[in-house]
Every structure is written in C-alpha cells, then in structure tokens.
Amino acid sequence: MSFNYELIRNIDWFKYMSLSDAGSKIIVGFTVVFIGLILLVTFFSIMGLIFKAVSKSSAPKEEKKKAKADKKNSEKKETVAEKKEEPAIPLPVVEDGISDEIVAVIAAAIASMSDGETRYAVRSIKKTRNVGGRPVWAMAGIRENTSSF
C-alpha cells in the first residue's frame, strides 16, 4: 500500500493566511516586541547608573556622619561612665493574670515596629477594660477602617 502524496499536495495549507503574510507579521511582531523591551532595558540601565552614582556619592557623606555620631556617643558614654554607672532599666510592672509569654509577645511586637534606632522599654502592662461597651480590639479595628474617610 503506497502513501497518497497527492492528497497532501492538494491540501491548501495556507488557506486563510498566506506564507508571506504570516512571515511578515512574524518579523514585524517579533521586532516590535524586541524594540519595546530594548527601550525598557535602556531606560532602566540609565536609571540604574544614576541611582548607583547617587548612592556612591552619598555613601561617604553618610559614613562620615555616622562616624562623627559614633565618636560623639562614645565620648559621652565615657564621661557618663566616669561619673556613675548607667541605671538599669526597671522591670515592667505586670498586672496579675498576664503570663510571661504575653509580656514577651508585647515586647516583640514593640521591637518589630520600632525603627531600630530609638530604644523603647516596657514600663507596665495592664489589662484594658472595654471602651464604650466595645472590646479594645474592636475599637482598634473600627478606627483603622474609618480613619481614612
């Protein structure tokens, strides 16, 4: 049994879009995609160079500032240390019924929200009573959802 090649030859392969039409669309399409993304490469490469240059020029200044501040702090510390020892931070006054784990969670939450430079100390932990008949968390939620209106 031989294969009927005539059958394949008679199929109108490019029935609705000719080969030249498809070819030209492919070339134009691929080129435009590349041009678009090359424009973006150029833009962001230049932007990257500018930001790199800016961060390099500001880095020595920041370093100088930091070094100055460190020097000042160490000098101050030395003088304070000479006068008397730094007072220890007092332990927080915790209301009965609040476990150590809750104290640790509150301290961790404050630490995570702080900017790293300012030092905070937990002085006391008290249970808050309901405000206006609403639990305090419900009040916080209402405030968060309505503050922008």
Which residues of the chain form contacts with another protein (CB under 8 A)?
11-19, 21-23, 25-26, 28-30, 32-41, 43-45, 47-48, 51-52, 55
To another protein, the closest distance from the beta carbon of 69 in angstroms equals 22
* Cα–Cα distance, 61 to 55 (Å, whole number): 10
| SS3 per-residue string spanning 65-119 | HHHHHHHHHHHHHHHHHHHCCCCCCCCCEECCCCCHHHHHHHHHHHHHHCCCCCC
Q: How far is the CB of 145 from another protein (least distance, A)?
A: 9
**Closer CB to another protein, residue 54 or residue 108?**
54
Pick 21 or 62: Cβ nearer another protein: 21
Q: Spell out the residues 6+ positions from residue 139 whose beta carbon is closer than 8 angstroms to its own.
A: 131, 132
Closest CA to 140 of 148, 118, 131: 131
**Residue closer to another protein, measured from CB, 13 or 137:** 13
Q: Which is nearer to another protein, 58 or 124 (CB)?
A: 58
Closest CA to 94 of 120, 129, 124: 124
User: What's at 16, amino acid-wise?
Assistant: Y
Q: How far is the CB of 46 from another protein (least distance, A)?
A: 9
> Shortest Cβ distance from residue 105 to another protein (Å)?
22
